[in-house]
């Protein structure tokens, strides 16, 4: 009987011990699982915070660069406008009042881009460079405000048909690069720059298509064509 009782006690102790160990293992497993989940959540939150911070810094840098770029453009624009105003003010000082008044009366909407003074055959002349809308125009005045010469940019398509026919005959395959009307006194001419293959040619031609003068790039102008 004593032996059976002892065995029963031992069995009970072993059972309790095993149960206790299993409970501890289960508890340890639950703690480990909870810890792993906690760390996972913390890592995810940490990564999100880092990503958010990096995004914020990137947006802040982009906004800063944009502001700096706008500031530089504005500053450049202000400097350009100031320089233009300064140049115009300095240039206009050399123009006699009669010249300035004559120009404003004839071209009220034009903007003066430059002015200069020169002496030709003992006569002092004043040149005004202007922009009237999209049309560039240079005028030369006497000191009394009388127009001596007008040079105005025109579209190649606006050249007289006789001029275009003459060019096609003289320069097959030509391309007009620049075209200007030149009026001096009662005479009217056209000053052109045309490209023929790889050569640029300067040409002066009258409204009838008669070539008055021509010169290739890098060469001296040829003598006027005889009538």
pLDDT band at 71 (very low <50, low <70, confident <90, very high): low
Counting the structural domains of the chain, the total is: 2
User: What is the domain extent for residue 144?
Assistant: 109-216
Q: pTM surpassing 0.85?
A: no
Burial class (CB in 10 A: 0-12, 13-18, 19+), 139: buried
pLDDT band at 185 (very low <50, low <70, confident <90, very high): confident
Within this chain, do residues 116 and 81 fall inside the same structural domain, yes or no? no
Query: For 186, phi and psi rounded to 5 degrees?
Result: -95, -5
Q: Which SS3 state, helix, strand or coil, does residue 117 take? A: strand
Chain centroid to CA 107: 30
Q: What is the residue-wise DSSP string for 134-156?
A: TEEEEEEEETTS-EEEEEEE--G
Q: What is the pLDDT of residue 198?
A: 87
Scan for tokens 């579209």, then name that residue.
Answer: 155
133 located within any domain: yes
Which helix (H) or strand (E) element contains residue 174?
none
| Closest by Cα among 191, 185, 119, 115 to 149 | 185
């Amino acid at each position: 009987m004593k032996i059976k009782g002892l065995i029963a006690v031992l069995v009970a102790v072993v059972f309790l011990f095993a149960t206790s160990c299993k409970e501890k293992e289960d508890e340890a497993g639950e703690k480990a699982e909870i810890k792993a989940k906690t760390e996972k959540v913390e890592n995810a939150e940490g990564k999100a915070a880092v990503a958010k911070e990096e995004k914020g810094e990137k947006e802040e840098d982009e906004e800063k660069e944009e502001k700096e770029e706008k500031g530089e453009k504005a500053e450049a624009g202000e400097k350009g406008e100031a320089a233009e105003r300064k140049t115009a003010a300095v240039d206009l000082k050399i123009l006699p009042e009669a010249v300035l008044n004559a120009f404003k009366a004839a071209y009220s909407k034009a903007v003066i881009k430059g002015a200069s003074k020169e002496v030709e055959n003992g006569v002092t002349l004043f040149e005004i460079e202007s922009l009237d809308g999209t049309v560039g125009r240079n005028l030369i005045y006497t000191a009394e405000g009388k127009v001596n010469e007008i040079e105005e940019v025109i579209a190649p398509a606006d050249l007289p048909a006789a001029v275009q026919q003459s060019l096609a005959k003289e320069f097959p395959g030509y391309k007009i690069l620049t075209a200007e009307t030149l009026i001096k006194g009662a005479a009217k001419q056209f000053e052109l720059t045309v490209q023929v293959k790889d050569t640029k040619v300067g040409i002066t031609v009258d409204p009838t298509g008669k070539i008055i003068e021509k010169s290739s790039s890098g060469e001296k102008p040829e003598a006027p064509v005889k009538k």
